[in-house]
């Protein structure tokens, strides 16, 4: 296939470019920065640029986005411009060009908090954790009905979205726009809800960097990783090469199937870890100081968010192949990327 890859110079996009090429596909890039594909930089919000890049393309893999939780309300215009307007422009030009296949980089952040059950009230959806509770060190969300302790579980794709920050809002908006495009243009969309992606080329030292990159940055400076809350918050850390392979599988499946609207997939390892475990694993791999649990917090963070990966396994043939220990050891050894 001829594939247009937006965000081709990015952390995840650069790995997808390699995976697509290794699978025999021809990749055309679109990114604000120079990429390794030889394409001149371009902006996904520029309709004329997008139209030129779509010429002769069979499918689009849309990774371009502004990532992270956001710093404050001043980030709202930048996130909506890059993520929402950029996606809208891309979809409009795809409709004009007759390109009907889209793999969209979505995120587990669309779920908000993960799955929880109360002994008395069954499955419940806790609201955002109030700052006074976080300040007092009460990190676990209580039952919204009776206030009792909850048992955390895993989310499936059928879980209703409940975004908690501007990045999550824009990722859900991307999914909605893509679903509308599929209905109007007769297209097919696989929205891949990435969980916590880590691995080589992960950027550091920005307010939007992932937690694994922030931990490694401190360790390389000889400093202890700073772990927020009590370190017991659970995530699913999935290696970037597994994420790239999931994109290839999704593109190939959509290309072989009749037009089918939009469908979401959790892209996760299926083996959740705590944030504290990630910090400890990196400290061990780098021989650095032990993590320091600070009790700090970020408003908009959720407590536990792990996934059921069954749908991606059954429908895409995807299963994570990089073991946590191996992936962390490799990530610890990789050269540092600043952006």
Residue 251 lies in a domain: yes
For the chain, the average pLDDT equals 94
134 and 201 co-located in one domain: no
CATH assignment of the domain containing 229: 3.40.50.720
48 and 10 co-located in one domain: yes
3-class state of residue 101 by DSSP? strand
Per-residue model confidence as pLDDT tens digits over 240-276 = 999 999 999 999 999 888 888 999 999 999 999 999 9
187 and 225 co-located in one domain: yes
Residue 338 lies in a domain: no
256 and 305 co-located in one domain: yes
Distance CA 234, CA 302 (A): 9
Q: What per-residue confidence (pLDDT) applies to 320?
A: 97
163 and 289 co-located in one domain: yes
pTM score: 0.94
Which residues span the domain enclosing 51? Answer: 2-114+155-333
Q: What per-residue confidence (pLDDT) applies to 207?
A: 53
Q: What per-residue confidence (pLDDT) applies to 206?
A: 58
**Percentage of the residues of the chain whose pLDDT score is greater than 70:** 96
The CA-based angle 6-9-13, given to 5 degrees, is 60
Per-residue model confidence as pLDDT tens digits over 207-241 = 555 889 999 999 999 999 999 999 999 999 999 99
Per-residue model confidence as pLDDT tens digits over 281-318 = 999 999 999 999 999 998 878 999 999 999 999 999 99
162 and 196 co-located in one domain: yes
228 and 247 co-located in one domain: yes
Number of domains in the chain: 2
Of 26 and 202, more confident: 26
Residues contacting 20, CB < 8 A, separation 6+: 3, 5, 27, 61, 247, 248, 251
């Amino acid at each position: 296939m001829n594939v247009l890859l937006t965000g081709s110079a990015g952390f995840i996009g650069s790995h997808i470019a390699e995976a697509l090429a290794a699978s025999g596909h021809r990749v055309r890039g679109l990114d604000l920065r120079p990429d390794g594909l030889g394409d001149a930089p371009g902006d996904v919000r520029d309709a004329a640029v997008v139209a030129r890049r779509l010429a002769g393309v069979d499918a689009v893999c849309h990774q371009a986005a502004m990532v992270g939780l956001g710093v404050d309300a001043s980030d709202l215009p930048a996130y909506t411009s890059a993520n929402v307007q950029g996606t809208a422009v891309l979809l409009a030009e795809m409709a004009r060009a007759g390109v009907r296949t889209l793999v969209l980089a979505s995120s587990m952040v669309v779920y908000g908090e993960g799955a929880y059950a109360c002994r008395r009230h069954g499955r419940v959806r806790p609201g955002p954790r109030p700052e006074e509770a976080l300040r007092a060190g009460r990190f676990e969300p209580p039952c919204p009905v009776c206030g009792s302790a909850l048992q955390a579980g895993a989310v499936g794709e059928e879980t209703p979205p409940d975004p908690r920050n501007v990045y999550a809002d824009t990722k859900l908006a991307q999914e909605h726009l893509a679903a509308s495009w599929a209905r109007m243009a007769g297209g097919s969309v696989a929205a891949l809800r990435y969980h916590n992606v880590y691995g080589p080329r992960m950027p550091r030292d920005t307010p939007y960097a992932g937690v694994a990159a922030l931990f490694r940055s401190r360790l390389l400076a000889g400093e202890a990783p700073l772990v927020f809350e009590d370190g017991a918050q659970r995530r699913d850390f999935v290696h970037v090469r597994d994420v790239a392979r999931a994109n290839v599988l999704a593109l190939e499946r959509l290309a072989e199937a009749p037009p089918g609207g939009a469908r979401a997939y959790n892209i996760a390892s299926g083996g959740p870890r705590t944030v504290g475990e990630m910090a400890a694993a990196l400290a061990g791999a780098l021989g650095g100081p032990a993590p320091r649990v600070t009790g700090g917090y970020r408003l908009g963070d959720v407590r536990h968010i792990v996934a059921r990966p069954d749908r991606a396994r059954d429908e895409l043939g995807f299963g994570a192949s990089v073991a946590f220990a191996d992936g962390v050891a490799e990530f610890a050894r990789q050269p540092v990327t600043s952006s």
